[in-house]
Amino acid sequence: MERRVALKSMAVAMGAMAGLPSWASGWNKSSVGQAGLLSADQSKNLAAIVETIIPKTDTPGAGELGVGDFVQKMVKDCYDSKTQANLASGISNLDEQSVQRFGKSYTDASKEQKLQLLQEIEKGSDSNQRAFLSMVKNLTIQGYMTSEYVMTNITHYEMVPARYHGCVPVKKG
């Protein structure tokens, strides 16, 4: 490999690594916007999938925080066209399986039915469907943990950790 090509590749890689964390940390619904990768029905199904992966408890679920839009944005901006097509076909296949098995779309299925479908895909033999689910799970976790709500209210993220507090009153013990 030529030195110029190697240096150019390293510069592009370093620029990407420097830019991605600033975009992907502390995001919220308005900063992501609508990615436009999927149709409206597929977007609803993706929101239901991420809500199934991280459901609402005493904290908001992934669907409520808009992690589905985050997943779309990441796949559109950071993955190749084959992976983008795999996301769209994986969502469509999941919806078709739900209609075949339960007579209703994935968004209308019960929590147990949704979870059952995802578990069957995870244990199934179709490598494309497993790759689809694995990617959605990883991006859901990343999106949830880097969302503005989780970083400020749950993990109490500090921009500068371990800061020095020089003048602190000390009580005798």
Residue spans of the domains in the chain: they are 26-154
Predicted local confidence at residue 35, as pLDDT: 53
Alpha-carbon torsion 128, 36, 140, 93, what sign?
A: negative
Predicted local confidence at residue 169, as pLDDT: 83
For residue 16, pLDDT beyond 90: no
For residue 109, pLDDT beyond 70: yes
HEC assignment per residue over the chain: CCHHHHHHHHHHHHHHHHHHHHHHCCECHHHHCCCCCCCHHHHHHHHHHHHHHCCCCCCCCCCCCCHHHHHHHHHHHHCCHHHHHHHHHHHHHHHHHHHHHHCCCHHHCCHHHHHHHHHHHHHCCCHHHHHHHHHHHHHHHHHHHCEHHHHHHHCCCCCCCCCCCCCCCCCCC
For residue 121, pLDDT beyond 70: yes
Residue 166 binned pLDDT confidence (cut-offs 50, 70, 90): confident
Q: What is the pTM of this model?
A: 0.71
| 157 closest CA partner among 143, 169, 145, 168 | 145
Q: What is the mean pLDDT of residues 33-46?
A: 79
Q: Which residues contact 100 (CB under 8 A, 6 or more apart)?
A: none
- % of the chain surpassing 70 pLDDT: 82
Predicted local confidence at residue 24, as pLDDT: 52
Q: By the 8 A CB rule, do 101 and 95 touch?
A: no
Q: What is the mean pLDDT of residues 33-59?
A: 86
Query: Which segment of 79-83, 115-119, 164-168 scores lowest on mean pLDDT?
Result: 164-168
How many CB atoms are located within 10 Å of the residue 1 CB? 6
Q: Largest Cα–Cα distance of the chain, in whole Å?
A: 71
Residue 168 binned pLDDT confidence (cut-offs 50, 70, 90): confident
Predicted local confidence at residue 2, as pLDDT: 74
Residue 51 binned pLDDT confidence (cut-offs 50, 70, 90): very high
The overall average pLDDT reported for the chain is: 83
